[in-house]
Amino acid sequence: MAQGIVTYKSGALANAAWIEGGANPNSKFYFKTEFGVGVTASAVDGPTAGYTQNSSTTTCTSLVSLCASPSSLVFEALVKFIGTGASGAAGLAAVAANTIPTLGTTAGIYFRKVANDIVLTVKGSGTDNIVVAPFTTNAVRLGFHYEAGVYSIYLDGELAVTKAGEMPSNALRALFGGSASGNNLECAYLVAGGDR
């Protein structure tokens, strides 16, 4: 993976301590797919990294849980919402492999559309929808860095907003795609890393 996809806290994401769900927390873990109809993915650089796709081809999840209650976490995805985008999501969620989440109810940290905005939903003991940008159907890079109880949220590599928030205590899997019938999000790549 090329250096400098985005920079968080003055460090290239590609140099972060990656989560791959296995014994080596320094191994990279990411999905990569091309924009297109339906959701397809391939996992790279992780011995236990992998993905699974639900039968309706609307959602992909990692085969393994990546983390639970990490103190530090980085995430980025290049996504394109389709149509209304109402059921599209990219992030980390407390779902079983091959499972479609209920957005806003399922625990996790994921980008989605709410009203006319792209938000980062942080769902733990409560729910916080942090507005990142106005909704768009253009491809956008969405990322966050969580550390010391604060989310620094990025849009196209630029800091958009910071906000204090909780880290869900659930075991989280990587997630992208739609949450209902029909594919409302396309993903070009998804990366995550940090401590576990």
Question: What CATH number has the domain bearing residue 23?
Answer: 2.60.120.200
Q: Is pLDDT above 70 for 7?
A: no
**Residue range 54-73: mean pLDDT, rounded:** 73
Residue 2 lies in a domain: no
Which pLDDT score is estimated for 118?
A: 97
Highest mean pLDDT among 15-19, 84-88, 133-137: 133-137
Neighbours of 133 (CB within 10 A): 16
Alpha carbons 88 and 68: distance in angstroms, whole number:
23
Percentage of the chain beyond pLDDT 70 is 65
**Residue range 156-184: mean pLDDT, rounded:** 83
Residue 114 lies in a domain: yes
Residue 48 lies in a domain: yes
Q: Is pLDDT above 60 for 85?
A: yes
Is there a contact between 88 and 140 (Cβ–Cβ < 8 Å)? no
Domain of 143, in residue numbers:
7-194
| Per-position b or e across 101-125, b if 16+ CB within 10 A of its CB | bebeebbbbbbbbbeeebbbbbbbe
Confidence label for 168 from pLDDT (cuts 50, 70 and 90)? very high
Neighbours of 84 (CB within 10 A): 12
Highest mean pLDDT among 63-72, 138-147, 170-179: 138-147
Residue 79 lies in a domain: yes
Average pLDDT, the chain: 73
Residue 34 lies in a domain: yes
Q: Is pLDDT above 80 for 55?
A: no
Q: What angle do CA 145, 6, 87 make, to 5 degrees?
A: 65
Stronger pLDDT, 111 or 158, i.e. the higher one: 111
Which pLDDT score is estimated for 186?
A: 77
Alpha carbons 44 and 147: distance in angstroms, whole number:
26
Residue 19 lies in a domain: yes
Residue 169 lies in a domain: yes
Confidence label for 151 from pLDDT (cuts 50, 70 and 90)? very high
Q: Is pLDDT above 60 for 137?
A: yes
Count the domains in the chain. 1
User: Structure tokens of 177?
Assistant: 């795609």
Q: Is pLDDT above 70 for 96?
A: yes
Residue 1 lies in a domain: no
Which pLDDT score is estimated for 107?
A: 96
Q: Is pLDDT above 50 for 15?
A: no
